[in-house]
Amino acid sequence: MLAYRLLTAEDTSAFCHKVTEALSKGWVLHGSPAYAHDPATGVMRCAQAVVKEVEATYRPELKLGSL
């Protein structure tokens, strides 16, 4: 099964660490990152999709971050 996650966070080094951690666990970048201004907080937010091929069967309660 191909698992999909969308990682999001404020535009800080913490976001880069979140993506780097996912890559170190076998996730692969999927597409380009996205940036948007969050008017509620006044900060820029980042998003990056990642995918990973896993030996699992999809079910809604599956914790994707634990794959």
End-to-end CA distance of the chain: 11
Task: Give the residue from 7, 10, 15 showing the smallest Cα distance to 36.
Answer: 10
User: Rounded to two decimals, what is the model's pTM?
Assistant: 0.89
Give residues with Cβ within 8 angstroms of 65, minimum separation 6: 5
Tell me the residue length of the chain.
67
pLDDT for the residue numbered 42 = 95
Q: What is the pLDDT of residues 13-61, one digit of tens each?
A: 999 999 999 999 999 999 999 999 999 999 999 999 999 999 989 999 9
- Token digits of residue 20: 């780097």
pLDDT for the residue numbered 14 = 96
pLDDT for the residue numbered 52 = 98
For strand 34-38 and strand 2-10, is the pairing parallel, antiparallel, or unpaired? unpaired
For the chain, domain boundaries? 2-57
